[in-house]
Structure 1
Amino acid sequence: MEKAKIKASQLFILVVLFEMGSALLFIPGFQAKQDAWLAILLGLAGGLALVLIYYRLYTYYPDLPFTSYVQEITGKWIGRLLSLLYIIYFMYFATRVLRDFGELLTTTIYFNTPLIVINSLMMLTIIYGVHKGIEVIARMGELLFGVIYLMAFAGAGLILFSGIIHLEYLQPVLEHGWRPIFIAFLRETSARPFGEMVVFCMLLPYLNDQKKAKAACLGGIILAGINVAITAAINVATLGVDLFLRSNFPLLTTIGKIQLANFIERLDVLFIIYLVIAGYFKISLFFYAAVIGATDLFKFKTHQKLSFPFGLIILFASITIASNYAEHLKEGLETVPIYVQWPFQIIIPFILLVIAFFRNRKKQITSS
């Protein structure tokens, strides 16, 4: 592993930026319609339980990354296979998020710019950050966290004062009962974005104070979850259910409706700046987890040797992962949650925790 340490406050900021990342680009839980915010809060509750699972695994092996202690838990060969699959998982999601943000930029402001150009420019900056290491990424998070929240408060204030919010669009609450909310929870919000916290299983060993890991992770996911739920409610209250469901980028559409005093309008740039920053951190952490996982699994001396080749793989995969945006979106909403997110974010970590519990219990009994 890289010889680096980050503070609990930096971990907290990284969790918030990572969780909010693409969750504000594609609001999760839209199947629940005007109750999407409730589905997100239910997903947050499930996410907190998942964080406790990841944290408990970390307490058993506080000095090891996930790719190392999975071999301790399941044995050498099964553990190596699982480690390799998780490295592919991290790279796959870095690829998907890069494609998400590339599509956003090419369909909103860079209409005549090829997707490969946008993704290449973003990937070059990410490769540089990953090459420098987790400390540099964490310090950048500290620097830009205030900028993001300043833009968020400014945007929320302008939406409120522009009078475009219609609270009646949020009614009736629970129009079809809890069933649509539970369906949205099972299909999406249980895994996205909260289950993606599994990436921090690779990062927690870098924390300089192990006792603060739980508070930093739980606090970060709670703040991010509340922000996403509020954003979903604002989108529905501004756009109405029909437009909210039809819009590719609901928050962008909401901000586009801001018009104050016939002077303040066309504030889409605020949203774009935020998403470029949030996308940078989301892709960087997935990418970094894949790089240090491969470094650990294949016993490289330093992670820098893998940052550029892995970055190229992610870049070209982001172009070829889908032939068009509709196909990319359909895969992300229908296939990925069931066949990728549920196994890697929920099922496998839970099984690992059960095995680790009995293994460590046996060791304690033997030592006593």
Structure 2
Amino acid sequence: MEKAKISVIQLFAMMFLFELGSALVVSLASDAKKDAWLAILLGMCGGIVLFFIYYFLFRQYPNLPLTGYARQIFGKYIGWIIGLLYVVYFLYIAARDLRDFGELLLSSTMPKTPLSTLNILMILAICYVLYLGIEVLGRTAEVFIVVLIFFGFTGNLLVYFSGSVDLHNLQPFLENGWKSILTTAFPLTTFFPFGEMIVFTMLLPYLNRSELAKKVGLSALISSGLILSYTTSLDIAVLGVEEVERSTFPLLSTIGKVNLLEFIQRLDALVVFTMLITMFFKISIYFYVAVIGMVDLFKMKNHQQIVLPAGVILIFLSMVIASDFSEHIEEGLNVIQYPLHMPFMVIIPSLMLLVAIIRNRFKNKAN
């Protein structure tokens, strides 16, 4: 592993920006209709349960990343294969997020630009930061979380001042009963975005004050969950539930409604900049953990030698992952939930924790 340490604030900033990611601009939990905000809060509770599993694993092996303690728990060979599967999984999700980013820019501001060009430029910027190391990424997150809060505050003020908010769009509460809320919350919003905290099992060993890992993780999860729930309810209050369901990026449509004195309008750039910031960190973190996973598994000297080759793989993957954006979204919402997210976010970590606890019990008895 890279000889580096990140502070509590840097880890919080990275977790917070990571959790917002693309979830901030897509129509999250739209299957729950007007109660989407509640489905997100319930999904957050599911995400907190998953985070406790990841945190307890970290407490058992505080100096090892996920790929390291997989070998300690399942043995040299099975653990190595599991570690490799996680690396492939992280790369795949990074490619999905890169595709999300490219498609948003295409549909909002650069319709004539080739998707590959946007993806290549993004990956070059990410490769440069990751080549410099995790500390640089942490310091960058510290700066950009302030910028993001400023954008969010400004955008909200303008939406309210423009008089577009109609709270009746959120009524009646529980219009379609609990079934649609629960089926949306578990597993959909539990896995995306809250279950994605699994990536931080690779980064927690870098924290300079490991005793604060739980506080940092929970505060990042809860604050990002509340913001996502609030943003979704704001989208519904401004646009109405039907338009939110139809819209690919409802936040873009919400901010598009701003029109103050026929002067302040066309503020799409605020959302695009927000998406740029959150997606940069989401792709960077997935990409970085895949790279350090490779370094750990293949016993390389450092991560710098494979950053660029892995970046090329990521660009290629993001282009071939789906033929168009609707197929890409369909795949993300319906195809990969159970075959991919369920084993990697729930089953394997739970098994690891179970084996680690049993093993430690026997060790303590032997002593």
User: How does the TM-score come out when normalised to structure 2?
Assistant: 0.99
Partner Cα distance (1:293, 1:189) in 2? 26
- The answer to whether the Cα contact below 8 Å between 2:50 and 2:346 also exists between their aligned partners in 1 is yes
1:54 aligns to 2:43 (yes or no): no
1:3-27 C-alpha deviation (Å, 9 max, x unpaired): 0000111111111000001111223
- The answer to whether the Cα contact below 8 Å between 2:43 and 2:187 also exists between their aligned partners in 1 is no
Q: Which residue of 2 aligns with 1:11?
A: 11
- The answer to whether the Cα contact below 8 Å between 1:70 and 1:79 also exists between their aligned partners in 2 is yes
Q: CA-atom RMSD, angstroms? A: 0.8
Deviation for aligned residue 1:28: 2.2
Letter of the 1:302 partner, please give it.
Answer: N
- The answer to whether the Cα contact below 8 Å between 2:7 and 2:207 also exists between their aligned partners in 1 is yes
SS of equivalent to 1:22? helix
Letter of the 2:156 partner, please give it.
Answer: A
- Structure 1: stretches of 5+ with no match in the other structure: none
Deviation for aligned residue 1:363: 1.1
1:267-305 C-alpha deviation (Å, 9 max, x unpaired): 000110111111100000000000000000010010111
Q: Which residue of 1 aligns with 2:321?
A: 321
Partner Cα distance (1:296, 1:283) in 2? 20
Partner Cα distance (2:270, 2:9) in 1? 25
The size of the alignment, in residue pairs, is 367
Q: Would you identify which runs of 4 or more consecutive aligned residues in structure 1 move more than 4 Å?
A: none
1:118-159 C-alpha deviation (Å, 9 max, x unpaired): 111011000111111110000000011100000000001111
- The answer to whether the Cα contact below 8 Å between 1:28 and 1:188 also exists between their aligned partners in 2 is no
Partner Cα distance (2:108, 2:22) in 1? 16
Partner Cα distance (1:262, 1:323) in 2? 40
Identity among equivalent pairs (%): 48
Letter of the 2:237 partner, please give it.
Answer: A
Partner Cα distance (1:311, 1:99) in 2? 14
- The answer to whether the Cα contact below 8 Å between 2:66 and 2:202 also exists between their aligned partners in 1 is yes
Deviation for aligned residue 1:30: 1.0
1:157 aligns to 2:154 (yes or no): no
Partner Cα distance (1:206, 1:187) in 2? 30
Partner Cα distance (2:137, 2:245) in 1? 35
- Structure 2: stretches of 5+ with no match in the other structure: none
1:40 aligns to 2:37 (yes or no): no
- The answer to whether the Cα contact below 8 Å between 2:53 and 2:349 also exists between their aligned partners in 1 is yes
Q: Which residue of 1 aligns with 2:115?
A: 115
Partner Cα distance (1:235, 1:32) in 2? 14
Q: Which residue of 1 aligns with 2:274?
A: 274
User: How does the TM-score come out when normalised to structure 1?
Assistant: 0.99
1:169 aligns to 2:169 (yes or no): yes
Deviation for aligned residue 1:70: 0.8
- The answer to whether the Cα contact below 8 Å between 1:187 and 1:337 also exists between their aligned partners in 2 is yes
Query: Counterparts of 1:1-368 in structure 2 under 5 Å?
Result: 1-367=1-367
SS of equivalent to 1:23? helix
- The answer to whether the Cα contact below 8 Å between 1:27 and 1:228 also exists between their aligned partners in 2 is no
Partner Cα distance (2:67, 2:96) in 1? 22
- The answer to whether the Cα contact below 8 Å between 1:166 and 1:238 also exists between their aligned partners in 2 is yes
